Amino acid sequence: MANQAVETWIKHLQLNRHVEGGWYSEVYRSALTIPGQALSPVFPGDRSACTHIYFLLEKENFSAFHRIRSDEIWHFYHGDAIIVYEIDGAGSLTEHLLGNDPSKGHSLCCVIKAGNWFASRVADGGEYGLAGCTVAPGFDFNDFELAFKEQLSKEYPEQKELINSMCRQ
């Protein structure tokens, strides 16, 4: 981690390594709890109404393909552009480009639909990107699934090259 800005953000925001890759810190968990019986059957129990984390990626790292049971809104904060790859149930790939330069096609936020596979990395030429991720109903590790490249490649063979480069297992 040679980048001083990355080290500063990690210390300032008290970020920890994330199992999917990158660094994170939960900064908000709603005190409002939604009872499990009021939610879709895909949720095994009660959930916070909303959660939010800071998420930082360095150029030599990536966030591996994973999915969750809730929608996730990504917000760009600082640094270089981040590409968020999203594969829907039909196998269609969407590349969301988060950043703060609209002349380069950047968006300040994007939504990843519940159940879609997604992964992210810093765009070519960048050093790091700092984002936030808001999840509703709130994030719970019981709702998190990390992809296995062999299995995901069989499901979506047209995305095999990307999947192989963005999975850790």
CATH number (domain holding residue 86)? 2.60.120.10
pLDDT tens per residue across span 112-154: 999 999 999 999 999 999 999 999 999 999 999 999 999 999 9
Rounded Cα distance, 149 and 125, in Å: 26
Query: What Å distances lie between residue 92 and 27, 104, 117, 122, 166, CA to CA?
Result: 32, 23, 11, 21, 16
User: pTM, whole model, 2 decimals?
Assistant: 0.96
Question: Which of 53, 49, 62 lies closest to 25 in space, CA to CA?
Answer: 53
Of 126, 141, 138, 140, nearest to 62 by C-alpha is 126
Number of folded domains in the chain? 1
Q: Structural domain of residue 137, as residue ranges?
A: 4-165
